[in-house]
A = this chain, B = another copy of it.
Amino acid sequence: MPPRSIGFIGLGVMGKPMAKNLLAAGYDLTVHSRSPGPVDELVAGGARRAPSAAACAAGQDVVILMLPDSPDSELVMLGPSGVLEADPLPALVVDMSSIQPGVSRRIAARAEAGGLPFVDAPVSGGEPGAIAGELAIMAGGPADAFEVLGPLFEVLGKSAVLCGPAGAGGAVKLANQMIVAANIQAVGEALLFAARSGLDPRVVVKAIRGGLAGSAVLDAKAPKMIAGDWAPGFRLELHLKDLDNALAAAREASAPVPVTTVVRQFVKTLVENGHAAEDHAAIARYGEQIAGSTIAP
């Protein structure tokens, strides 16, 4: 039987539009979140309010988590009044937060020991993708649980790929974020070089986007860099978190990732210098930290 009742925990920038899409698709939704505003908004739309994670999860067909970072997932799953204390337990939990794969594996082991199947399924696509229901979903967990989640993933995303056991989704998300960050930095370096060489960076983008330098990053982020438009989108401080998780996971896997290490250092510097809440396109502002160099004229 396909799932009908959903407990949704975490109504932030990503969680709120995702929960709204599930509500609009006719699911029976119960919500829980730290800030009351988004909860009120969902309740006004027909969702039920729950006073704790345990209460939100109790007896649901599926519980979805969309939380900021690893400690939040651990607390909501394993802490007091957490999902594992729900009575009765839900049938299935899917954590769509972007957290450390090792933490997902640990949570999965605890959940499954308690008889609760667990899937990690972080997403790519940012707030626009969440609103449009066009996220790319990278999942890890048991195949039958992934199967059950199919109809929900169709509401939330444009693709969902099962990548391995629990934690695999998170590892793939980190791989994704490594590529995105390095490519933003590379586009930033290329456009800064072009601008300092007296070229119009808009013409440069036009000349190269059809070739091997073409990418989703070039199309989505170069216009923001050129306009000096740093409104998020995806906040730089969240990308720093992802890169820190990536470096930790790469160390654990004994995988050398030198460019990721360099880019993370620039991102860290930018976050510490007042750019935390800007879009991650602001990775291209690395030059301002070094030499007062800007792409925009």
A: residues with CB less than 8 A from B are 101, 124-126, 129, 136, 138, 158-159, 161, 163-164, 168, 171-172, 174-183, 185-187, 189-200, 203-204, 206-208, 210-218, 220, 246, 249-250, 253-260, 262-263, 266, 286-287, 290-291, 293
What is the bound-complex CA distance between A197 and B138, given in angstroms? 15
> Is B204's CB under 8 angstroms from A172's CB?
yes
A183 touches B180 (CB 8 A): no
Name the one of B163, B179, B194 contacting A187, with C-beta atoms under 8 angstroms.
Answer: B179
The 3 closest A-B pairs by CB, nearest first: A215-B215, A182-B186, A124-B211
Contact B175 A179 (CB under 8 A): no
Question: Which chain B positions have C-beta within 8 A of A192?
Answer: 255-257
Q: For the complex, what is the distance from the CA of A203 to the CA of B213, rounded to whole Å?
A: 23
| Residue of A159, A194, A203, A207 with highest tally of chain B CB at under 10 A | A207
Task: Known contacts A182-B185, A262-B262; decide if A213 and B246 are in contact (CB<8 Å).
Answer: no
**A259 B262 Cβ-Cβ under 8 A:** yes
Measured CA separation A210–B161 after assembly (Å): 11
Contact check, A175 vs B194: say whether CB atoms are below 8 A apart.
yes
Whether the Cβ atoms of A171 and B186 lie closer than 8 Å is no
Partner of A217, one of B101, B124, B187, B215: B215
For the complex, give the distance between the alpha carbons of A48 and B215 in Å.
42
Which residues in B have their C-beta under 8 angstroms from that of A163?
199-200, 203-204, 207
Known: A208-B175, A249-B193. Contact between A293 and B218, CB under 8 A?
no
Q: CA separation between A206 and B101, bound complex, in Å? A: 19
A193's partner among B182, B207, B250 (CB-CB below 8 A) is: B250
